[in-house]
Amino acid sequence: MATTPSKDGTKIAYDKTGQGPTLIVVAGAFQDRMAMAAYAEPLSKHFTVFNHDRRGRGESGDTPPYAVEREIEDIDALIQVAGGSAFVFGGSSGGVLTLDAAAYGSNITKLALYEPPFVVDDSRDPVPESIVDQLKDMIASGRRGDAAETFMTKGSLMPADMVSAMRAHLSGRGLKP
């Protein structure tokens, strides 16, 4: 594992494997680089893969307050370490983040997305308009586990019993859910 500082000084941890054109892998909201290793390993046969922990996950640091712009700066820091430009692969919300980075002007040569969480039709009820304010309030009051649960149940429509099981699993591992 190596690290690089982001623009705000936050330490971003990453694994670098393989050789070839640079490819940065961006995980989803509740994942770290270990979750993306199943993608990074086969891709490293054709690319120099930078598989990183997004800020606040795994071995990367976290500097409040959260902002998407900071995560874009994290991707930009990895692009600089990689030589100034890169292909980027994003999974789930990491796919949305990579789209944001490309729109922001990050030096992304090619972009691949896997299951970005977009709803483009009326196949499900819309996310409640108040969810962003609810999540911000929960996070500000130190209720990060409740914010994650609300995001998963109201935003992603994951069944509440599955989220409860996830929280119980984290608690059993000594982590604050």
User: Taking the mean position of all CA atoms in its chain, how far away is CA 77?
Assistant: 15
CATH code reported for the domain at 2-114: 3.40.50.1820
The predicted structure's pLDDT at residue 97: 96
pTM equals 0.84
* Domain extent listing, the chain: 2-114, 131-172
User: Taking the mean position of all CA atoms in its chain, how far away is CA 6?
Assistant: 15
pLDDT digits (tens, 9 = 90+) for 86-144: 999 999 999 999 999 999 999 999 999 998 888 788 888 888 889 999 988 998 898 88
E strands, the chain, in order: 2-5, 11-17, 22-26, 48-52, 86-91, 108-114
Residue with tokens 């100034």: 84
Residue with tokens 């304010």: 133
